[in-house]
Structure 1
Amino acid sequence: MEKDVITTRTSMVSLPELFSQTTFAVLDCIQAAKAVITQIKNFERFSNFMEKITLILKELSKSNVNDSESLRNGLDILNMEAKVVKQLADECRARNKVYLLINCRKILKQLENSTKEISQALNFIPLTSLDDLRIVNKITRLCKDLVEAEYSPCTEETTVLEKIESGLRERNVERCYANDLFVLIAERIGIPGEYLAMKKELEEFTAEIQDSKPGVGMDEARRMEQIVELLEMGDAMTSYEEKAKRYQLERDSLGTQPLQALRSFYCPITMGVMVDPVEISSGRTFERSAIERWFADGNKVCPSTLIQLDSLVLQPNKTLRQTIVEWKYRNKMITIVSIKPKLKSNDEQEVLQSLSELQDLCTERELHREWVTFEGYIPILIGLLSAKNREIRTQALAILSLLARDSHENKERIAKEDRALESIVKSLARQIKESKLALELLLQLSRSSVVRDVIGTIQGCIFLVVTMLSSNDAQASRESREILENLSFQDQNVIEMAKANFFKPLLHLLSSGTDNVKLLMAKTLSEIELTDHHKLSLVKDGGALGPLLQLLSHDNLEMKTMAVKALQNLSNLPQNGLQMIKEGALGSLFEILYRHSLSSPSLREQVAVVIMHLAKSTNTPAADDEQISLLESDEDIFKLFSLISFTGPDIQRNILEAFSAMCRSSSGPDIRAKLRQLPAVQVLVQLCEINNQTVRVRTSAVKLFYCLTVDGDDISFQDHVGLRCIQTLLKIINTSTDEEESSSAMGIISNLPKDIQITRWLLDSGALDTIFAFITDGNRNALNKKHGIEDAARALCRFTVPTNREWQRKVAEVGIIQVLVQFLVSGTSLTKQYAAVSLKQFSESSATMSQPLKNTRAFICCFAASETGCQVHRGICRVESSFCILEANAVDPLVRILEDGHLGACEASLDALLTLIDNERLQNGCKVLDKVNAIPPIIKLLSSTSTKLQERALGALERIFRLPEMKQRYATMAQMPIVDITQRGSSGMKSKAARVLAQLNVLGEQSSYF
């Protein structure tokens, strides 16, 4: 039949035309084959065959070959196969690279089949009718080559395919396995090994799989799905931040102590926690291996009840098995968290035991290593490298090697820790066991392109590595060689070393040279461009501070000036600022600043800059650890602040900036309290209101004003904040080009006392319009906008209180309710919290604001036109008039926030949702909550770290479970968390949990656990 079709089609064209059509098809095929981006060598080999065929076709067309059915069939097959391969080549250009790599054998098989078909096509040519023996030999030889042609993947492709098959066969689920696989794939197909690039490639591959499903069989489709699942085990689809956030959410939902196994977890035969629980016909559950042995011994009664069994069939108890797995998972995570404080113990044995336990966990699973990283163990382990106990150091090195092995991010984290690389290099010079572990860790770090250049600059590192190169230990020698191969010394390193050598004589001359030489050296330090590393070295190791501080007391004004400029150049590094405070720099700086006769205006301005730098250095973790503050006494605070009223704008601005920095430090609450005792608020209000004030001073004043409102009492501000001040702040928000200033002004508005008069002034001055414009402005800097919008959302809470419906109506009319709903979706955690508070306050008014139904068929309700009105309020609800959160589509995002992890946002969202089940609205509200799947997240809050959230969730469930249909649907899900509360909760919580369990009719059954 197929032959008849071919004959019919080919008989319709002349032989020359058929030759021409076939030649064009072959040439198109050759062009497509040469343009592929995959299997280039195999397609190139095929195109060489096809080029030989074009020559044969050309010679045949010119010869006196007989026009026969066999010849036409051969040309037609050749034509079709050329088009088939062209289509295959076109697909290889268009398809995803990962898809092409994984299916390369299939592609090559298709190419090989077409090659064989083309060989058959050439066999159709009637060679006996050809007079030219040369053409006959060409065709014969080419047919033989085509038949013997084989196409195979390259070595790298074979490695990838074998690793995929091994992963599928062995069901390998370790993340590092998937990571290694994707690295191999990335190297083979030429994509960057970066998270975003790899994620994009995998997403395209997944889409390709979905598109190709209709054209493949079920087995092939399932295989491709398994490959996708295997690759998705790796990090390509999840960023470190996403994984860390997911871990934090899980961790926050746990308690602080491991849970004891429930009685139902234990097998009655083995008395151990079950791994594979199965249920027998008596309804009792046992470990599979134990009950199988019981039956194998000829027993046909239940081991617990001794009742004769009518069946020996084992039914897997999947629910119990999953519960046990989750219990183990939870306890492992809690164990990792609990080890952390023990590593800070003064008891060396406890530290060693904890390190051993941590090492076992890291060795056990890659997931555990990930949790250890998220828990912030790396800085602690780095700190232990300085311990006096050798065993502590060696175990810390071993764990750090495990953490660095499969993670480039961890390599960078280790290297970035203070003195980490120096500590590792020190361990290289210690006893054999420790030095080998240090070498292994250094090797891991040297495999990171970010870290390796830094390693080479550590003093003594290269010498020690070279020394170990000639070690009798083959592994140490091999690792040393690889480290040296990995390290690359760029010209920049040479420059850094030259600068370091230059600083030594400079510092020597600064301390011991003549006055002119000292002046020159101080001038050099004030003008030279320094890296942070150089600045730190000059102060910490070079001893630059002593000579410079001595020059501050010099009689020569130019000497003072150069010393101050040098200190200004060095002090913007926080570590140096703290060192200057510790070495007593403030006394000399204050003397210059306060005594006009000793200095010029410009010198005092530069001193103010240095003081501002020192103040900012107190706003760092190091300052908190060492309890360093800039100003100790009330007199110091008063003297420095008083200068604001008697100096020029440059000094004013730097002093204001200094106080802003101090207010944000660990001693900030004390500083803020002392400033509020001074007329500071009055001075700041004046600086904000004066029209001829320089903008930079006003900006600094607004920022400090904001700091003082953070935790101030109402009395501190009510005497100084009037209508004019409020109008000024709103004007700043509306007109300032400094985003930090406008955000700070918004922060002041949000922190103002919740006084009725102040609220009225705000409304009369157009605060709602200003806030609306601020939060809907999409052109603001992301960081400032984030903080400003948080404050704006907080400010709105004062206008949405349910005790004043008129204020609520004004907010609704501006259109802010829909913006609040949008905040629930895209805001920060604090923004979501404040938005939920406002929506909760709105919702509390909805029951009385909802319009009663009229006798008409047409009306508007929360979801759609119907005869029953709003599903909760049973009236006509509109966003602007009844503030209904259902009408505003706020319920879904409120539910999502319950799983957000931020306690404040969760609490506010839960409060907002619970307004739907207040009083007589319980049944209708529960139906709405059930419809949007809100009840499972509420149940999860029973495991929250917040007692308040637990209580609110428990109270909500106590009301929800009054409805039989809710109890029937969610009782099983809620049972275990409630049992947990009865074990660990406060006395009040325990009794409330017991009442809920009684509601669920399980108290008697579970009473032995309480």
Structure 2
Amino acid sequence: MTSPSYTAAAAAESIHRSLAELSSSSSDSFDNSRRFTAFASRLHLLLNHHYFLDSDSLSPALQTALKGIASDLSKAVLTVSVYRKRSKIFVLINCKSLSASLQQHSSAIASWLALIESSLSDNLPDLRKKTSDLSRDMKLSHFAVTENEERLHRTLQKEGEGRQTSKAVQSAIIMDLARCLGIDSCNYEELINQVKLFKTDLANSNSVSERRILVSLEKILGSWSAVPGMLTLKVDRDFEEDAHILPFKNFLCPLTKEVMKEPVVLESSQTYERSAIEYWFERCLEDGRDPTCPVTGEVLKSLELKPNIGLAGAIEEWVNRNVEIEVNCAVEQLSKESMEAEGVERVLDVVYKISEEHPSNWFRVRNAGLVVMIVNLLTNSSKSIGTVLRSKALMALLSMAKDEESKKIMLEEGITRFAIHSLIGSSEKEREYAVKLLLEFSSDEACCTRIASEKGALVLLSSMAGNLEHPALANVAEQVLTRMEVAEDSVQNLAAAGRFEPLLSRLRGGPDDVKIEMASIIGRMTLTNNSKEQIAQQCAQTLVELLSKPEGRTPSLLALNNLSGLDDNATILVESAVLPALVAILLQNQGALQEWKEFAASIIANIVSKPGHWELASIDNKGNSMQSESVVFSLVVLLLVTSPQCQASILRILYGMASSPQAAGSVAMHIKSSEDGIKTIFHFLDYPDIEHRIYAFKLTRILTERFAQDLAQEVKHSDKLLLFKEKLLDNQSAESEKSDAACVLANLPLSEDEVKTVLEASFVKWIVMNLKKQQRISNGRTSWPTSSMEEGLLGLLLHFTRSLDQDTISVVKEHQLMTIFCEQLSFPANPRVKQLAAVGLTNLSEAGRMLAAPDSEPPAPKGFCASLVFMCGRASPEPSNCPIHNAPCEYNSQLCLLKSNCIRPLVDLLHDEDANVQIAAIEALSTLVLDTSHGYKGAVDELEKQDVIAAVIELFTEIRPGVLQERALWMIERALRVDSPAHRHSLNQSLVRALVEALKHGTANAKRHAQDALTNLKEISGVSAKASSQSRPQR
């Protein structure tokens, strides 16, 4: 379309300007622009005819045609200017769009010329013919892209996509580019100049593809100009650079510019490196173009590659001669007394390159002694050369290890030891090449054994394999360990490093002789707890099965003994039916070796030391269990006839079973009822070996807790009573023995005379001193011997509180036993200690009440008065009475809970989590309301003041029926007999509801006490509780 305001004269002027511009250049580099310029010249001659001089007088059709030609011609001028002014590379990249543009404008102008021809009058035949001919020629013209231009255009467009290309492809691209540009591919300067012009063209371009092509061409030309890589070792200035033989030009591949390793000939008679030309062919096929010869540009009909045998031989000879020169230079450098780091690094680089690129020359490196020299360099100068050189040395040796002979040399020179040491090298590269070198060696079973025997090798490899921060190294280390698992001689070393799977798989699935060997290894090893658990879980059943084979019994017992040392394995072993086999060996098999019995006893002792599972297991076909009478009897009998080691284990077995909550009662009963059972245990109380004594004392302590009276008779009959006291006083005895001895003496019922004659009043001082010492030792941290000792010492003090005469009262006051008991109430972690302390306070408080009860008259100090005066003294002519005892009590009397400040600690115990402690606290507080004679109201008021009554009521409302409820009810009922607390608590609906519930569901005593309490609260009518029985529930 042409503009209506655009005049014919203006169109004619535009045409002449465009034609002048097209004619201004005498030569065009590209055929398309040259051909279009030729059409422009003919058009110029045509329009110079006088017919067209007066444009405005022409017919409308002719004027329209001139305007159309002017428009298309001006656009064509822009396209031709690209051919002329832009770089050749830019034109090649855009060749298709440029040719299409010229084609379009040429066809358009041809159509306008046809319009002119049809509008001319018949009297201008010559002009019409020239117009017709030009129109036809421009219409039929074809502005084509040549095959080379098409191929290069496609290639450059692919480069614009940013894909990766090899050096061979890059070289072929440059050759194609040079050919299209009409430049020799060796004319590097002209190629660079064309790229610079292309770069200038793109200064204002926004095309990402064009800029990528530019970057790609710059990179290609940068590497294209590089000098071919050569094996060059300049380690000394005395060496001349021409000592190396330079390659002939035909040794170099035109594509890679490197010496060819496998030269092949194409049908174009050009020689290339096989891998390079194959890659070029693949790229051609990927791009959808015919494969060509990069040098000639010839399209190949066949892709056959024929080996150039003659050239290959010449290249090989040249390589060998150069390698020999390099090897000699390397030997000379490493033979120097003082080596420079730079020179050593070059040597290592050369050895690595020779090994990687020319494997056929391994023998030269090996025979020249370079392998030995590099190993010596590492072993003798490891610290001085640094981690970089160590890494390169290991890298060179790793490459040479592909040569079996070199590998043998390395092993003989001890390279494995250094490689293992480098697993903890300071750089990741050093560790990488070290572990890869070990992987190379581990392909041989003998090498695996050698690596496994090196100190620390498996530990370091296992550590590296488990390091997730470096997964690549971890994977290689895991491969090394996996290969080593195949080697039989490495199994034990692998297990020692924590990799048990090879050993366990052989133990589970190997033949009997292998199983026995693996069991022996387990029996000898020092295992971690995790390892013991892993082995037990996977192989306990197999080890139990080996017990049935005489040749496998000893190693199996050793292994089981090792595994049973972990408490958590007890369940696994019991579920594997180990107990029947062990009991049979220990008790039934008359022909069993003593060693077998010792191991069996030790394993059983380890198993029964943890209660909770073995108690339910059967040990024979009759369904007997470990705690059955026959087993216990047999163990007691065996104690006297077996070896000392077995005796110790049997004592441990009996103690373990007697400590189990499920089995303790029956086991203790069977020991007591067995013939001379207790006497047999007592036999070991003064045994020379400490282990025997320790478990004999522990077992005796447990027996006295259940059968104190029977044990007391046996102790007195065997004159062992003093033994326990002497054990306590013996500083050489173990703490465990002493604590158990204290508990035994505390548990035994002793008469008043025995307390005085055996324990003696002077013994109290020692007990108190050690009790305070134990408190300092524990310091809030309770261990079993410490808490057990405190229990025993408190139990011993209780002996002195059960029957008090004036001498004993003196002892109580002198050592302030009530204060001692009160201090124990705050013992943080042992409920038994708090319970015993509360019992002690109960005894002393009752003694104080008994002494204050007979009479309150002040006459002469006879009978009770003498004792009371002894207890309370006469501080003033008019002493103030204690509100509890209604008599004067001194603050240091040690028989009054109020004056000794023990009430508040006892009240705090009511909130303890242990019911026995709560009961003991209630019992102690109950001693304060036993006497309802004169002064009782004052005692209750004092307890109300001390918040005792409120605390007991709170406890009562929260607990369920039972002993504790009965004790609390008794005390509440006693308190409510006094009007003031009864009135005060009568509105406490929680108390009333709890009393009603106790009346409905409590024990007989609880119901009676609840009824009396409700009567006192006037919740029900009845006989006043004040007149009811004052009996106290028995403790």
With structure 2 as the length reference, what TM-score do the two structures score?
0.44
Larger Rg: 2
With structure 1 as the length reference, what TM-score do the two structures score?
0.45
Bigger fraction of residues in helix: 1
Higher relative contact order (CA 8 A, sep 6+): 1
